[in-house]
Amino acid sequence: MNSIPRTIFEEEHDIFRDAVRRFCEEEIIPYHAQWEKEGQISREAWLKAGAMGFLCSSMPEEYGGAGADRRYSIILMEELARAGASGPGFSLHSEIVAPYILRYGSEEQKRKYLPKMAKGETIGAIAMTEPGTGSDLQGVKTTAIKDGNEYLINGSKTFITNGQMSDLVILVAKTDPSAGAKGTSLILVETGTDGYRKGKKLEKLGLKAQDTSELFFDDVRVPQTQLLGEEGQGFIYLMQELAWERLQVSIGAVANIEAVVDWTIDYTKERKAFGQTIMDFQNTKFKLAEAKTQAVVARTFVDKSIDLMLKGELDAETSAMGKWWTTDLQNKVIDECLQLFGGYGYMWEYPIARAYADARVQRIYAGTNEIMKDIISRKL
Ligand SMILES: Cc1cc2nc3c(=O)[nH]c(=O)nc-3n(C[C@H](O)[C@H](O)[C@H](O)COP(=O)(O)OP(=O)(O)OC[C@H]3O[C@@H](n4cnc5c(N)ncnc54)[C@H](O)[C@@H]3O)c2cc1C
In this prediction, residues 183-194 reach a mean pLDDT of 98
Q: How far apart are CA 166 and CA 48, in angstroms?
A: 16
* CA neighbor of 160 nearest in space, from 105, 114, 113, 198: 198
Q: Is the model's pLDDT at 1 over the cut of 90?
A: no
Distance in Å, CA 372 to ligand 1 centroid = 11
Distance in Å, CA 133 to ligand 1 centroid = 8
Q: Is the model's pLDDT at 122 over the cut of 90?
A: yes
In this prediction, residues 316-324 reach a mean pLDDT of 98
Long-range pairs of 27-30 with CB within 8 A, sequence gap ≥ 24: 28/80, 28/83, 28/85, 28/87, 28/88, 29/83, 29/85
pTM metric for this prediction: 0.97
Distance in Å, CA 371 to ligand 1 centroid = 9
Q: How far apart are CA 287 and CA 326, in angstroms?
A: 18
> Kindly report the CA angle at 338 between 335 and 339, in degrees rounded to 5?
90
Q: DSSP string covering 195-242, please?
A: TEEEEEEPP-SS-TTS-EEEEEEEEEEEEGGGEESSTT-HHHHHHHHH
Residue 16 CA to its chain's centroid (Å): 20
- Write out residues with Cβ below 6 Å of ligand 1: 126-129, 134-135, 159-161, 204, 207, 212, 361, 364-365, 367-368, 370-371, 374
Return the ligand 1 atom nearest residue 133 CA: 26
> Of the residues 368, 369, 370, which should be mutated to test ligand 1's pocket, given the most ligand atoms within 8 Å of the CB?
368
Instruction: Determine how β-strand 168-174 pairs with β-strand 227-228.
Output: unpaired
The closest residue, in CA terms, to atom 25 on ligand 1 is 134
The closest residue, in CA terms, to atom 11 on ligand 1 is 128
Q: What mean pLDDT is reported for the chain?
A: 97
The closest residue, in CA terms, to atom 43 on ligand 1 is 370
What are the tens digits of pLDDT across the range 268-306? 999 999 999 999 999 999 999 999 999 999 999 999 999
Q: How far apart are CA 85 and CA 207, in angstroms?
A: 9
Return the ligand 1 atom nearest residue 202 CA: 1
Element at 327 (helix H, strand E): helix 316-340
Active-site hit among 245, 258, 313, 317: 245
The closest residue, in CA terms, to atom 7 on ligand 1 is 160
Distance in Å, CA 361 to ligand 1 centroid = 10
Distance in Å, CA 134 to ligand 1 centroid = 5
Return the ligand 1 atom nearest residue 207 CA: 1
In this prediction, residues 100-106 reach a mean pLDDT of 98
CA distance readout (Å), 348 to 120, 175, 208: 30, 45, 11
Q: What is the pLDDT of residue 200?
A: 86
The closest residue, in CA terms, to atom 40 on ligand 1 is 371
245 a catalytic residue:
yes
Q: Is the model's pLDDT at 2 over the cut of 80?
A: no
> Of the residues 135, 189, 208, 212, which should be mutated to test ligand 1's pocket, given the most ligand atoms within 8 Å of the CB?
135
Q: What are phi and psi of 59, to 5 degrees?
A: -75, 150
When pLDDT is cut at 50, 70 and 90, the band that residue 241 belongs to is: confident
Q: How far apart are CA 88 and CA 256, in angstroms?
A: 15
- Classify residue 165 by its DSSP letter: T
Distance in Å, CA 135 to ligand 1 centroid = 5
Q: What is the pLDDT of residue 292?
A: 98
The answer to whether the CB of 186 falls within 8 A of the CB of 171 is yes
The closest residue, in CA terms, to atom 31 on ligand 1 is 135
Return the ligand 1 atom nearest residue 370 CA: 47
* CA neighbor of 172 nearest in space, from 223, 229, 212: 229
Long-range pairs of 355-360 with CB within 8 A, sequence gap ≥ 24: 355/84, 355/256, 355/259, 355/260, 356/206, 357/205, 357/206, 357/207, 357/208, 358/84, 358/86, 358/206, 358/207, 358/256, 359/206, 359/253, 359/256, 359/327, 359/330, 359/331, 359/334, 360/205, 360/206, 360/331
* CA neighbor of 72 nearest in space, from 8, 131, 27: 8
Q: What is the pLDDT of residue 3?
A: 78
Distance in Å, CA 96 to ligand 1 centroid = 17
